[in-house]
Amino acid sequence: MRKLAAVILLGLSQYTSAQLSVQEGFVRGLPPGLPVTAAFMQLENSGSKTVTIKSIRSDQAEKVEIHQSLQQGDRVRMQRVPSLSLAPGETVKLEPNGYHLMLIDLRSPLKEGDQVLLQVFYGDESSQSFELPVRSVLNENIHHHHHH
């Protein structure tokens, strides 16, 4: 009986650790030879606690950074941010003109149809893995024109 209670407790503590849901996530597939690319997605914190992304790792890149694009006059500049926090119920869209992830020093070119595994580490020491498809930047443009 005591053992069962411990199992239930363990289950609960795992359930209450940081978790985000990812929608419409993809990694931008660029022509071979470019060492850096970006990942975009919509993150949602449907839990009751603030979730803070502290770091991200991927086997397919030397490092993964959280970036923010900032408009400066008529130029857009990217800067690295140390972490990204989502309040309970908050949704953050990672998009070209806002927050996004940068995959730096790719180990091999990413092609349309590839899957990229990202391991996300949270402020409470928990982690979560997301698998995102690679979408060629060419298809991204077609998609964009379709809406205009």
**CB-wise, 78 or 137, nearer to Cu ion?**
78
Q: For residue 13, what are the contacts with CB-CB under 8 A and spacing of at least 6?
A: none
Buried b (16+ CB within 10 A) or exposed e, 81-97: eeebebeeeeebebeee
> Which stretches of the chain are assigned E, i.e. beta strand?
21-29, 36-44, 51-57, 61-72, 75-81, 84-86, 91-94, 99-106, 115-122, 127-136
- Contact call for residue 54 and Cu ion (CB under 5 A): no
Q: State in angstroms the smallest separation of the CB of 36 from Cu ion.
A: 8
Considering the rule CB under 5 A, would residue 102 count as an interface residue with Cu ion? Answer: yes
* Per CB under 5 A, 68 contacts Cu ion: no
CB of 104 to Cu ion, least distance (A): 9
CA distance 110 to 119: 17
Which of these segments, 13-21, 83-91, 100-108, 117-125, binds Cu ion (CB under 5 A)? 100-108
Q: How many residues interact with Cu ion (rule CB under 5 A)? A: 3
Q: Is 57 in the site for Cu ion (CB under 5 A)?
A: no
Any contact of residue 104 with Cu ion (CB under 5 A)?
no
The distance of closest approach from Cβ of residue 135 to Cu ion in the complex, given in angstroms and rounded to an integer, is: 17
CA 123 to chain centre: 15
d(CA 43, CA 92): 5
Counting contacts by CB under 5 A, is residue 78 touching Cu ion?
Answer: yes
Nearer to Cu ion, 51 or 94 (CB): 94
* Residues at the contact surface with Cu ion, assessed by CB under 5 A: 67, 78, 102
